[in-house]
């Protein structure tokens, strides 16, 4: 289907998802870029609501919608768009199940949060807890995290979470610029790294 009107419901939905209020209300987010979209489709196709491309897109990903270039440029959050995005359902929070947890407290810069999430996937972390952080589903975080958003179990901090993790046998390690170095070689330990 080719979309040529800025008043089309798909265009309006994509545009609205640039705001946290609508991401929360609709339970959706936008992922932009060829690699990001391709990875999400490969890893979690069930989370993809639809794929949209601009009329100049020449990639291999099959799109549900083709949006005229001048309208696509209005809904894209990137200055030099690759002409492809997907709208995804927000992943559901699951029970903590991995031995390595990353607890992020107060990460406000979207680029930093995205980079940390992408690095966490590479380092083998499965569960991420966010406390007082920027919205992980904002466009900038999703772009810099790449497909890490759908590869991690991202939870939001709840009361007494550190005490509950200790009860479950996790060693809590805090990153502190003035702290002493620790090195743990016992791979059997359950660790929660707090940054």
* Burial class of 97 by CB neighbour count within 10 A (0 to 12, 13 to 18, 19+): exposed
| Same domain membership, residue 32 and residue 112 | no
Q: What is the pLDDT of residue 59?
A: 86
Determine the average pLDDT of the residues in 125-141.
96
| Same domain membership, residue 129 and residue 72 | no
Residue 25 phi, psi dihedral angles, 5° rounding = -65, -45
pTM of the model: 0.90
| Same domain membership, residue 121 and residue 51 | no
Which of 62, 89, 116 corresponds to the end of one domain? 89
Determine the average pLDDT of the residues in 74-84.
93
Determine the average pLDDT of the residues in 34-52.
97
Which of 40, 67, 89 corresponds to the end of one domain? 89
Q: What percent of the chain has pLDDT over 90?
A: 85
Q: Structurally, how many domains does the chain consist of?
A: 2
CATH number at residue 177: 3.40.1280.10
Q: 61 in a domain, yes or no?
A: yes
Which of 69, 89, 109 corresponds to the end of one domain? 89
Q: 35 in a domain, yes or no?
A: yes
Closest to 116 (Cα-Cα) out of 105, 20, 63, 73: 105
Domain holding 17, by residue range, is: 2-89
Range in 121-130, 135-144, 184-193 with the lowest mean pLDDT: 184-193
Q: What is the pLDDT of residue 1?
A: 82
Q: What is the pLDDT of residue 10?
A: 98
Q: 23 in a domain, yes or no?
A: yes
Range in 25-29, 42-46, 181-185 with the lowest mean pLDDT: 181-185
């Amino acid at each position: 289907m080719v979309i040529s009107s800025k008043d089309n419901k798909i265009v309006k939905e994509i545009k609205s998802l640039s705001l946290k209020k609508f991401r929360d209300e609709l339970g959706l987010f936008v992922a932009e870029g060829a690699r990001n979209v391709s990875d999400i489709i490969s890893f979690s196709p069930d989370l993809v609501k639809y794929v949209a491309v601009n009329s100049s897109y020449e990639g291999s990903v099959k799109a549900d919608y083709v949006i005229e270039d001048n309208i696509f440029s209005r809904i894209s959050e990137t200055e030099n768009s690759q002409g492809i995005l997907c709208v995804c359902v927000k992943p559901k929070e699951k029970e903590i199940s991995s031995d390595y947890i990353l607890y992020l407290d107060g990460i406000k810069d979207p680029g930093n949060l995205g980079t940390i999430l992408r690095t966490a996937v590479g380092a083998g972390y499965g569960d991420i807890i966010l406390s007082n952080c920027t919205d992980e589903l904002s466009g900038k975080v999703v772009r810099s995290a790449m497909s890490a958003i759908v590869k991690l179990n991202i939870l939001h901090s709840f009361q007494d979470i550190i005490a509950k993790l200790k009860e479950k046998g996790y060693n809590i390690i805090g990153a502190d610029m003035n702290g002493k170095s620790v090195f743990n070689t016992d791979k059997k330990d359950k660790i929660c790294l707090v940054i």
